[in-house]
Amino acid sequence: MSDEEFERAIALSLQEAARAKASPILISDDEYEEEADDDAEFQRELQRAIEASKAEGSSSTARGDSSKSTQPRAQEVEPATSTFLSERALMEKERLERQKRLRSDTSFDDKEKAASSKRPHLSETRTDGKSKASVAASGSFDGPSAPKTPTIDPIFWEGEVRQVANRHAEPRKDGRPTFRLTEVLGKKSDISFTILSSYSLALSWIYEFFDRDTQVIMVAHDAARPEAMHNVFPNWVRTVPKLHNGRGCMHMKFMLIFYKTGRLRVVISTANLVDIDWRDIENTVWLQDLPLRPSPIPHDPKVIDDFPAMMQHVLQMTNVRPALAALRSERSDVPIKAIEDLRTRWDWSKVKAELVPSIAGRHEGWPRVLLTGHCRLMRAVRNMGMRTGKGKGKNVSLEYQGSSIGTYSTQWMNEFHWSARGESAEDWLDVKRAHREKLPYPPVKVIFPSLKTVRATVLGEPGGGTMFCSPNQWRAPKFPRDKFYDSKSKAGGVLMHSKMIIAIILDEGLVGGKGKGKADYDSDTDTDTDMEDDDVIEVKDEKVGWVYIGSHNFTPSAWGNLSGSSFNPVLNVTNYELGVVFPLKDDDHVDKTACWERPPKKYVLGDDVPWMQDDSEILQQLRAES
């Protein structure tokens, strides 16, 4: 693309942005027009893009790159400067549209980005991993009400869970500290390299949170360019994992943030990399900092399911390996040479959480099945020593908060619950199919906002665009409507995009009320040799339960469907998902971790119905007008 062609593309994008200025806003009705200096900033951004793109094009020419191939070769990035220029023009257009349409609180957005450059790096932490700065101060907004003393970026050596700050619930009703994106990322001049992942993505928005020379790999859903790898900005490579038969999505939300000091921060989130997820709807973040080892340890290929091994598996399956090689071909200062460096160079000894991914595809055989979906959840529960045990008189009650409802059957819900108890998938497959299909629903509470709750929130129905339950699901004859409970945030009148399971261990009989596991279905014989049954049989240390936080909604697409036989199992998974699981020590720990008001209020059937976008005349009208 010549300079003249690029300038024409920019002019067109500006015209389109101007026309989009009057588009209606679905998430809020109190927006205002931005000041004129936004256009000046837009022009400055475009000029930087032109200069960066010319430099990128020159360097590509010097290397003798070819733009004739329509597909990048393995471990290479598409040079195609024209692709970058056109995408940059589109991203800048989207940025202007977003600023015109979505931003209504400059103290939340503009000062959010400026805050990270003003915070000094943490030089001292307490033994509990928290900074000496006020925890409450770290969760407050940057603006007139912020503390006058400098805020210090805390380091979390022991891990931390917080809800994302929300401008519609400040201060929070429960008084709990929160995370803002600038606090999750830390001081941006300290970041050397980052691997990010998101389903929904506002590239030009997230780009502004990093220095221009910071190297970034972006794992993202892109149905139009499956498995493609391409530059989106200088030093940024976007990569897309394989989508099978055009179905499913790359739904993971994680960050690996490498700092110039050597520290690594691991972030598992429920928030997409779009501004509304960090401002208007509530999300949850788990993060933990890891120190650099004094010297690398040898690679151990036999360790396959602890946290770093699972993280490396996720990077492998989401197409990060060739993206890393491509980035290193451009920049020799990338802090890792291979994804295996995660285990060998950083100290994971303080990480107590278990990593639980879902990898899209058909997984056959125990070695593959145990690394993904609800079978991986089963292994995580066992690794924590929290298997209920067959015939032990214990059960697990699940409360599952999510933003999307699945199509449920008693067989699938019992299949999931079986894994949530830490019970063997091998035993489940030994149960006769006809018997599995007739089991009653297990003790599961589906936490999802009712129509009344959505209407009572600050944004009302226009703010419900990220919550999904179809009328066909809800009105199906055998749908478990009596398992639905209202979702009310402990922050106040906001909706939650958080995906979270609170699992409470009960001292009572299992499904069927007989206090027996497989004996309820088959026999008392335990043949769980392939599952290492002797490792963890019953609950240890008297923990009250466990929590899951991540991207999985309560759906078969996210967690998978198990089939096949106990000798040769098959798990079919539609989506890429990722979350963490860790024990809950006591009732106080449960209450502090759960993001919804507990105990949740059960739907009154005939009076309460879930929020369903398709039944919302207000939302449909707004969409039609847009």
d(CA 150, CA 230): 39
Nearby residues of 444 by Cβ (< 8 Å), 6 or more positions away:
397, 398, 400, 413, 417, 483
Reduce the DSSP state of residue 512 to 3 states and report it. coil
Kindly provide the residue ranges of all beta strands, DSSP E only, lying in 370-514, ordered along the sequence: 395-401, 444-447, 484-485, 499-506
Given 251, 313, 363, 417, which residue is catalytic?
A: 251
Amino acid in the structure at residue 229: M
Q: Is 148 annotated as a binding residue?
A: no
Neighbours of 133 (CB within 10 A): 18
Q: What letter represents residue 443's amino acid?
A: P
Q: Which residue has the tokens 């739907």?
A: 603
Rounded Cα–Cα distance for residues 523 and 11 (Å): 73
b/e map 347-377, b = 16+ CB within 10 Å: bbeebebbbbbbbbbebeebebbbbbbbbbb
497 is catalytic: yes
**Distance from C-alpha of 199 to C-alpha of 274, rounded to nearest angstrom:** 9
Task: Say how far apart CA 575 and CA 248 lie, in whole Å.
Answer: 5
Of the candidates 94, 409, 83, which has an alpha carbon nearest to the alpha carbon of residue 237?
A: 83
118 is in an annotated binding site: no
Of these residues, 230, 417, 497, 552, which one is catalytic? 497
Q: Is 251 a catalytic residue?
A: yes
* DSSP 8-state code for residue 153: P
- Cα distances (Å, whole numbers) of residue 50 to 5, 67, 86, 296, 380: 12, 19, 11, 42, 49
Evaluate whether 533 touches 526 at the Cβ level (below 8 Å): yes
CA distances in angstroms from 309 to 301, 344, 425, listed in the order given? 9, 10, 22
> In this structure, which amino acid lies at residue 458?
V
**Residues annotated within a binding site for substrate:** 253, 499
The catalytic residues are: 251, 497
